Amino acid sequence: MVMRKAVFLDRDGTIIDNQGDLGDPGGVTIIPGAKEAITSLADAGWLIIVVTNQAGVARGVFTEDDIKKVHEHIDTLVGPIERYYYCCYHPDGVIQEWAEVHPCRKPAPGMLLQAIEDFDIDPLASWMIGDTARDIQAGLATGCKTIWLTDPGRVTEEITPTLFAPNLGEASLFVLAEEKVP
């Protein structure tokens, strides 16, 4: 069996400009270059999987249906995303059914592991790209190569990604270039 390669993407701060709870599709703003990056990766044969913590459900700010509407709207703006995995759990949630520590919540690798199983993905041939240390930790826990989207002023010693990049557009160039190296 041939395993697939994937680029796992965080959502907020990676694809869309959002650092809070977003349950309204009208609040979606695509980060410049994200659409082109996703298209070029998909065109090169990469499976595009979004893995996103969505604790706004646990906090009672929005519902799972709201998340789905936001994702449907993102699809109309950026194109070929194979699947969204999201985690609504948060240990400090006010909605009891979502108030717990859960293995799908990044930095735990649960969402990535589920996608790896669902799509027969080779994690060693795959990448996790995100804007927080917990994104990088989740990728490293599965054996993926990682790109932390950050500027040099935010770099810490808390975690070491494979690479740093300022945005998804630049990160996609690294992924595409690495694939061409013999």
Cite the DSSP H helix spans in the chain. Answer: 34-43, 64-78, 110-119, 133-142, 168-180
With beta carbons less than 8 A apart as the criterion, state whether 120 and 107 touch.
no
CATH code, 91: 3.40.50.1000
Active site residue 118: no
Q: How far apart are the two ends of the chain, measured CA to CA in Å?
A: 23
User: In the chain, how many domains are there?
Assistant: 1
What does the pLDDT read at residue 7?
98
Residue 151: other Cβ atoms inside 10 A: 10
Flag whether 181 is in a domain: no
Which of these is catalytic: 10, 66, 131, 135?
10
Flag whether 46 is in a domain: yes
User: What number is the average pLDDT over the span 149-154?
Assistant: 74
Flag whether 165 is in a domain: no
Distances from the Cα of 40 to the Cα of 37, 50, 82, angstroms: 5, 16, 14
Task: Kindly report the pTM of this predicted structure.
Answer: 0.95
User: Which domain, by its residues, includes 92?
Assistant: 6-126
Active site residue 10: yes
Q: How confident is the model at residue 178 (pLDDT cuts 50, 70, 90)?
A: confident
Q: How confident is the model at residue 158 (pLDDT cuts 50, 70, 90)?
A: confident
Flag whether 28 is in a domain: yes
Which of these is catalytic: 12, 66, 131, 135?
12
Flag whether 137 is in a domain: no
Flag whether 112 is in a domain: yes
Q: How confident is the model at residue 54 (pLDDT cuts 50, 70, 90)?
A: very high
Flag whether 182 is in a domain: no
